[in-house]
Amino acid sequence: MFIDEARIRVKAGDGGNGCMAFRREKFVPRGGPSGGDGGHGGDVLISSSLSHNTLVHFRYNPEHKAERGGHGLGSNCSGYAGEPVTLKVPIGTLLFDDATGELIHDFTRPDETIVVARGGRGGRGNQHFATSTHQAPREHELGRSGEERSYRLELRLLADAGLVGYPNVGKSTLISRISAAKPKVANYAFTTLEPNLGVVQVGDFPHELSFTVADLPGLIEGAHLGHGLGIQFLKHIERTSVIVHLVDVSDSSDRSDPVADFKIITAELKSFDPALAAKPTILVAAKADIANPEKMKKLAAFAKRRKLPFFAISAVSGEAIEPLKFAIAELVAAHRPKPVVVTELKSPVKPKPAYPPPAPRARGRSR
């Protein structure tokens, strides 16, 4: 099951209460206060992981709570600190504040870890309240509550190239031919119901190149209005560097104008995000082994006018598959964003407050 959105609620552990106790031992008169501090509550963290590729593990388990801190004890013994909880998300996950919609963090690299809810501070025991004039304090502090927050998780696949086009134009067949991905392939519309991701190897060692390609469910006219499968999966190509647009030029297609098909899908991309329509695009005439000559000629002339790279391929026979792979690899290498080096991750929540300064001791001799 491919789940790319989830809402979670996290609750950090509460701090333990400080203890009120006095030292009572034989031959130790007026032992004084000996109440220990409460332990800090556990934090809730989120970390990116290579072992996860969907958010399905949050679908039926949306609430997560860290352990609370232990209460302080006598003999100046502090309570134990609560165990933190670390939630794993796939790379490419966006973390939003569910209340404000603010983007908290974008997990683009493995093993990125941030704190999303701070545990409560433990309360101080009565040993901290002793002064020269108040030598038997009975004051102690309660533990602070841990932070409680709601977040929205949204997964966007990290692919270098995205395959788009009408349903049943051969996108799944192409990705199965150029990569090790094994999507469902059948001769009917909307065979692909969820995005598929594949890794493509180009060239030989030591000049080998590789890139990832995403096969998206087919679009139709009016997809931005919810027709067909809608545009819910288009967010997965927002990170891509290149768009590979497939158009069916065979006689088996019930659409007679391939140029109109290209313009309709491009309009759907633009209605979702204008930046998608501005990405570098490779125009591919699919099913060239059974192509209609008029459709092929018209689409090739259109690509020449628009100055778009054009390839006529057949994923079944393998015609022009290798040149297309090299063209995608070159375009990806030219437009792939440079990695950003992050020296330090900032937490979206405030750090734990420090203890307040102790009360000043009174000067002079105590009576």
Whole-number Å distance between alpha carbons of 67 and 149: 16
Considering only CA atoms, which of 104, 144, 161, 131 is closest in space to residue 17? Answer: 144
Instruction: Please check the confidence at residue 53 and state whether its pLDDT lies above 70.
Output: yes
User: What sign results for the dihedral spanned by CA atoms 178, 180, 184, 185?
Assistant: positive
Task: Give 321's Cβ-side CA count (13 Å radius).
Answer: 20
Whole-number Å distance between alpha carbons of 107 and 117: 17
Please give the distance of CA 355 from its chain centroid, rounded to a whole number. 35
Q: How many CB atoms lie within 10 A of CB 122?
A: 33
Per-residue CA distances from 101 to 94, 96, 154, 302 (Å): 11, 6, 12, 42
pLDDT value at position 89? 93
Which token pair is 104? 């908290």
Among 231-240, 315-324, 337-346, the range of highest mean pLDDT: 315-324
> Could you report the per-residue pLDDT of 115-153, keeping only the tens digit for each?
999 999 999 999 999 998 898 899 999 999 999 999 999
> Could you report the per-residue pLDDT of 250-266, keeping only the tens digit for each?
887 677 889 999 998 89
Set out the domains of the chain in order of their start, with CATH numbers.
Answer: 1-155 (2.70.210.12), 161-335 (3.40.50.300)
Q: How many CB atoms lie within 10 A of CB 364?
A: 8
**Which of 6-15, 38-47, 94-103, 344-353 has the weakest average pLDDT?**
344-353
Instruction: Please check the confidence at residue 289 and state whether its pLDDT lies above 80.
Output: yes
Answer yes or no: are the C-beta atoms of 14 and 67 closer than 8 Å.
no
Helix boundaries (H) for the chain: 171-178, 258-272, 274-277, 293-306, 321-335
pLDDT more than 90, % of the chain: 42
